[in-house]
Amino acid sequence: MQIGPYTLSSKLLLAPMAGITDPPFRHLCKQFGAGLATSEMLTSDISLWDSKKSAQRLPQRDETEPRSVQIAGTDPQMMAEAARLSIDKGAQIIDINMGCPAKKVCSKAAGSALMQDPAAAKAIIKAVTRTAEQAAVPVTLKMRTGWSRKNRNALEIAKIAEDNNISALSIHGRTRQDAYTGYAEYETVRRVKQAVHIPVIVNGDLRHADDLTFALQYTGADALMLGRITHGQPWIFQRYNTLLATGKMPADLAFSEKKQVIIEHINHIHRFFGKTMGVRLARKHIGWYCDRLHIPAEKKRTIFGATAPESQVQLLAEVLDNPPNEAPKQEGINL
């Protein structure tokens, strides 16, 4: 799939997720074959970007290209300035967030709340694309099927986006009202794909092998965006890329290979975020890895008790040296 001047290496993309798609996780998913890994959402208020937290969310110069950063806000000029500064700091693709359903985002009329105001959405899209075009940087848009179940207006927003030089659309198959409940519907995505001439990426409920093939065939989408299914199994990109290429799901990674990946990921988190923050942020990833590998809860709690990077890694390695004798099939994989 093509986004501006960039030809992506895979039809599988990593969804931007707050608190999750940090540089270490983006790096790992790209290693396993993600065609694009977009940063966590950044506020358009650049006065807040001097914080260490914001700096760590920005694209890193050593990241595999293309480097994509997502910005969120409600003021067109602030969004344009955020895009300009992101480009100055190394972003090669700008992604506009019109998909986040979180109350703290929507209460400020940002994220998916913008979908209920097409005029405001258009103003933001125009401001950002005009700024990005000066640097020859493509802009993408992530949205939902609509604001509510009675107002699925993704088609209207998609046409506004195409008319104002958006290079690709990502659509989560739920409305803002749905948040993450119920099931994703792909009919709206299908209608958008039939109506526009820019790449469309489908997102939502892509958990099993059959989900991927069905979503691509039914919607006609150009690519798939994986979100929560990647938690605790970044190697899913490698397996699903093989599935899409051959029609067959390959054998899972050996436990020893997973251990090596997990330990290196946690070490990378420690190096990038530092000792105190690194240990804290690593816990959620450790929790997901343990859940995927069916590690008993009491062993997981032992790892969570570590307060230093060295002890956290040591305890994790000890647990992984003694895996469960018979782990059930991993959730989210249809073998």
- With b for 16 or more beta-carbon neighbours within 10 A and e for fewer, the 172-202 pattern comes to bbbbbbbeeeeebbbebbbbbbeebebbbbb
71: how many CB neighbours lie within 10 A of its CB?
27
* Catalytic residue chosen out of the listed positions 29, 100, 106, 290: 100
Q: Specify burial of residue 48 (Cβ count, 10 A radius: 0-12, 13-18, 19+).
A: exposed
- Cα gap 141→149, rounded to integer Å: 21
Using only C-alpha atoms, the chain has a radius of gyration, in whole angstroms, of 20
98 and 142 Cβ atoms separated by less than 8 Å: yes
Nearest to 204, CA basis, from 237, 233, 182 = 182
Q: Please name the amino acid found at residue 201.
A: I
**Pairwise CA distance, residues 335 & 330, whole Å:** 9
Euclidean distance between CA atoms 170 and 302, whole angstroms = 39
CA atoms within 13 A on the CB side of 61: 2
Q: Does residue 29 have an active-site annotation?
A: no
* Residues acting as catalytic residues: 100
